[in-house]
Amino acid sequence: MRARFAAQSIVLIALATIACVLAVALADRAGVRLDLTLAGEHSLAPQTRQLLGSLEEDVLVAVTMDAAALPREHRQQLNDLLDAFSRTSLRVETITINVGSAEAASRADRVLDVARERFAEIATAHRAAIAEMREALAESSTAARSVIDAVERLAASSASTFSAAQVSAQVFRDQLDRVGELPPPGDFADARRDAATGVLTAIAAAADRLTQTLRVTADQRALELANRAAVLRDRAAVAAEAGAGLDPNWAGQVEGALQQEQVVLAIGKHSVAAATFESLFETDASGGLVLTGERVLADAINAVSDDAPPIVRLLHGEEPWLLDEQRVPTPGARQQLSYLFGLLERRRIDAVEWCPAVDPLPPSLDAIENAPVRPVITVLLAAPSDATATDRLDALASAVRGIVERAEPLLATVHPSRLPGVGSGDPIAESLEPLGVRPRTGLLMVTQQSTPTGPRTAFDQTATPAPTPGDALAQAIAGLPVVVPRAVPIELAPDTGARAVVELEASERRWGETQWLGPITGQGPRPEPNIGRDWVDGPWPIVVASEANGARTVIVGGPLWFADRLVATGAAPGNAALLDASLTWLGGRDDLLAPNADARAVPRIPALSPSRRASVRWSLTLGVPVFVLLIGAAWRVVRG
């Protein structure tokens, strides 16, 4: 009997174990989850889920952070968000590296191992190129000094004939003297590659100059030396070219990024995208920090999985000043527009500068990888700062007209203009009219405010767009304050596919003023609304989207809405969201438009008076337990 009981018990336990394990495994695999938060805080936006579902290659997302410096609730939110990404797609793996933890080093090594494995071919090519450059440099250095010595001996024999060659030789020698030996090729040496390329390019240039000056002399000995110098030049140039033609050393960039304290990395199969840790958060309307990392992570993942990110043409009415010859933002541009350039870099969007005042034709995109298959978005940043430069204004308007005629995506900023006030049309505004919009650049939105010192006229306008179901662009900025300095109202033609994205609400104290030049310079009288002259009936659209003629266009009425003082400081979160969402929408990636920060706002406990706070604390700590004990005592008394 005992044996039978033992057998029965073993079978029962085994069956229970199998049933329990199976049930848990099946339920875990089913992935049935119910998000009870009102804002769907733990559910990714449908657009993000679509992006993650479409991934065909693995992406590793690594977030390094100083967890101790991050408030608890934000840390939790971030972990939840990363969980949601990895749960939604088996292609996405997430790793958080808390720089203050004992596991930081091993986790960073894991990320680096993935990068090294994925970009092993590029690293090998880099090592080979650096070895080749080191060899070329060593050979060139010895041979070059021999040639230089020979040239100097020639110059000593006939100074007048070889004076130019002697100067070139001296330049060459100086160049060689400045070059030390290149460091040995490490695994991840992007900077070394660039340095070596620069050195060899300089040596090739010096050798070329010496070759040319020697050939001019027509002396047989000099020609022989010129040939030797030409060989050196070619050797150095070939080696430099080998280095310059390499893909970016992504693994090296990952290693560099991991040395920063806080960074977000998305490591794909073919490239890496990085964002600052701070970009995962935004400041909401109440000044609180809000996690908006879903969009940043989705952007980064999209950047490493999207073979054709957009190209942006930065169009303006000045001389070139934004980008240098390598299309890198100039220090001045980065100082004023760091948010814009940061956004472009984060999304791996290449930028070119178009200045019609210098060249009416759009800049060539030949140097940009995959340019023919990438959407090109033109961003009209600003009209000429000199209002009297009508030729520049006309050139700019002509460029805009061409974009509209070619039905190309356009993000346009329009400025208040004095031209309509003197009876002329604003050519920029007129060039946009085929899109079904009419920027009223002759008007300036003003708001009359009451202050303790009397009425005041405000020229900066703020609007908080309401949610607009069905309009992905409007939804992306809904609830976020958009600040437009010197706002220009935009009139919409009916049935043209143009719609208002941001409107200034109707108010008796607000209107579109025609006589704004005096007040804005502080010289005229305080403006008053004039029903016959001004646009007094709101609402007034100040951001408009158009899909007329199959072309997507976003027009913002007002200059400098994307300037750092608004978008990089958190002063106008709607502006940052508008810039980001506009580029996404114009690039045709509606699938990447995610809900904005406002939807993620967390309700907070208000300030409490000390007495109220103390009463709540002690009621909970002592009041409730004592009350329960009293009930217990009463129970015992009653029941005996």
Partner 1 sequence: MRAIGAIAWRELASSYRTATGWVVLALYLALSGFYVGFAVLEPGGPASLRPFFAVSQWLLLFVAPAVSMRLFSEELRTGTLEPLRAAPVGEWAIVIGKLTGAVAFLLTMLAPTLIFPLILAWLADPEPGPIVSGYLGLVLVGTAYLSVGMLWSVTTASQVLSYLGPFFVFVGLWIATGTGASLAGPPLDEALYALSFQLRIRDFARGVIDLGHITFFLAFTTWFAVLTVVALEVRRWR
Cβ(200)–Cβ(137) under 8 Å?
Answer: yes
Query: Cβ contacts of residue 29 below 8 Å, gap of 6+?
Result: none
Closest by CA to 129, choosing from 251, 238, 272, is 238
Cβ(220)–Cβ(211) under 8 Å?
Answer: no
Amino acid (one-letter) located at 250? W
Q: Which is nearer to partner 1, 294 or 534 (CB)?
A: 294
Q: Which string of DSSP letters, residue by residue, matches 474-530?
A: HHHHTTS-EEEET---EEE-TTSSEEEEEEEPP-TTEEEESS-HHHHHT-SPPP---
- 67 binds partner 1 per the rule CB under 8 A: no
Residue of 386, 461, 559, 620 interacting with partner 1 (CB under 8 A): 620
Half-sphere CA count of 369, side-chain side, radius 13 A: 11
Cα 629–Cα 630–Cα 634 angle in degrees, nearest 5: 115
Q: CB 17 → partner 1: shortest distance, Å?
A: 7
Return the structure tokens found at 323.
């980008």
Residues 552-611 contacting partner 1, CB under 8 A: 602-608
Residue whose entry in the numeric block shows the structure tokens 């130019």: 164
Distance between CA atoms of residues 155 and 168, nearest Å:
11
Do β-strands 311-316 and 289-291 pair in parallel, antiparallel, or remain unpaired? unpaired
For 300-338, letters b (16+ CB in 10 Å) and e give bbbbbbbeebbbbbbbbbbebebbeeeeebeeebeebbe
Calculate the CA 187 to chain-centre distance: 29
Distance between CA atoms of residues 457 and 528, nearest Å:
10
Q: Which is nearer to partner 1, 157 or 286 (CB)?
A: 286
Q: Which is nearer to partner 1, 17 or 259 (CB)?
A: 17
Q: Which is nearer to partner 1, 159 or 608 (CB)?
A: 608
Q: CB 465 → partner 1: shortest distance, Å?
A: 23
Q: Based on the number of CB atoms within 10 Å of its own CB, is 164 exposed (0-12), middle (13-18) or buried (19 or more)?
A: middle
* Range in contact with partner 1 (rule: CB under 8 A) among 7-15, 162-170, 300-308, 317-325: 7-15
Residues 384-413 contacting partner 1, CB under 8 A: none
Distance between CA atoms of residues 198 and 201, nearest Å:
5
Q: Which is nearer to partner 1, 308 or 629 (CB)?
A: 629
Residue of 31, 423, 469, 532 interacting with partner 1 (CB under 8 A): 31
Residue of 100, 332, 518, 625 interacting with partner 1 (CB under 8 A): 625
Cβ(374)–Cβ(311) under 8 Å?
Answer: yes
Give SS3 for 449.
Answer: strand
CA distances to 247, 293, 381 from 130, in Å: 13, 38, 41
- 634 binds partner 1 per the rule CB under 8 A: no
Contact pattern for partner 1 over residues 90 through 129, marking x by CB under 8 A: -------------x--------------------------
- 308 binds partner 1 per the rule CB under 8 A: no
Q: Which is nearer to partner 1, 4 or 523 (CB)?
A: 4
- 638 binds partner 1 per the rule CB under 8 A: no
Q: CB 468 → partner 1: shortest distance, Å?
A: 24
Distance between CA atoms of residues 425 and 7, nearest Å:
97
Dihedral pair phi/psi, residue 280, rounded to 5°? -75, -15
Q: CB 25 → partner 1: shortest distance, Å?
A: 9
Residue of 61, 62, 80, 549 interacting with partner 1 (CB under 8 A): 80
Q: CB 31 → partner 1: shortest distance, Å?
A: 7
Q: Which is nearer to partner 1, 120 or 629 (CB)?
A: 629
Residues 169-228 contacting partner 1, CB under 8 A: none
Distance between CA atoms of residues 83 and 42, nearest Å:
9
Q: CB 126 → partner 1: shortest distance, Å?
A: 30
Residue of 494, 636, 637, 638 interacting with partner 1 (CB under 8 A): 636
- 321 binds partner 1 per the rule CB under 8 A: no
Residues 9-28 contacting partner 1, CB under 8 A: 9, 12-13, 16-17, 19-21, 23-24, 26-28
Residue whose entry in the numeric block shows the structure tokens 């007034």: 540
Size of the site for partner 1 (CB under 8 A): 60
Residue of 34, 218, 373, 422 interacting with partner 1 (CB under 8 A): 34
Q: Which is nearer to partner 1, 321 or 635 (CB)?
A: 635
Q: Which is nearer to partner 1, 331 or 606 (CB)?
A: 606
Residue of 42, 49, 215, 221 interacting with partner 1 (CB under 8 A): 42
Q: Which is nearer to partner 1, 387 or 633 (CB)?
A: 633
- How many other C-beta atoms can be found within 10 angstroms of the C-beta atom of residue 30? 8
Instruction: Tell me the three-class secondary structure of 178-240, residue by residue.
Output: HCCCCCCCCCCCHHHHHHHHHHHHHHHHHHHHHHHHHHHHCCHHHHHHHHHHHHHHHHHHHHH
Residue whose entry in the numeric block shows the structure tokens 């005229």: 524
Residue of 456, 533, 565, 613 interacting with partner 1 (CB under 8 A): 613
- 509 binds partner 1 per the rule CB under 8 A: no
- 41 binds partner 1 per the rule CB under 8 A: yes
- Specify the DSSP element, H or E, that contains 134: helix 120-157
Q: Which is nearer to partner 1, 22 or 387 (CB)?
A: 22
Query: Cβ contacts of residue 13 below 8 Å, gap of 6+?
Result: none
CA distances to 273, 405, 480, 522 from 183, in Å: 28, 55, 52, 62
Q: CB 36 → partner 1: shortest distance, Å?
A: 3
Q: CB 117 → partner 1: shortest distance, Å?
A: 16
Q: Which is nearer to partner 1, 97 or 355 (CB)?
A: 97
- 158 binds partner 1 per the rule CB under 8 A: no
Q: Which is nearer to partner 1, 12 or 191 (CB)?
A: 12
Q: CB 1 → partner 1: shortest distance, Å?
A: 8
Q: CB 328 → partner 1: shortest distance, Å?
A: 42
Q: Which is nearer to partner 1, 24 or 156 (CB)?
A: 24
- 616 binds partner 1 per the rule CB under 8 A: yes
Residue of 53, 68, 69, 76 interacting with partner 1 (CB under 8 A): 76
Q: Which is nearer to partner 1, 105 or 358 (CB)?
A: 105
- 286 binds partner 1 per the rule CB under 8 A: no
Give SS3 for 294.
Answer: helix
Return the structure tokens found at 270.
């073919």
Residues at the contact surface with partner 1, assessed by CB under 8 A: 1-2, 5, 9, 12-13, 16-17, 19-21, 23-24, 26-38, 41-42, 72-73, 76, 80, 103, 602-608, 613, 616-626, 628-629, 631-633, 635-636, 639
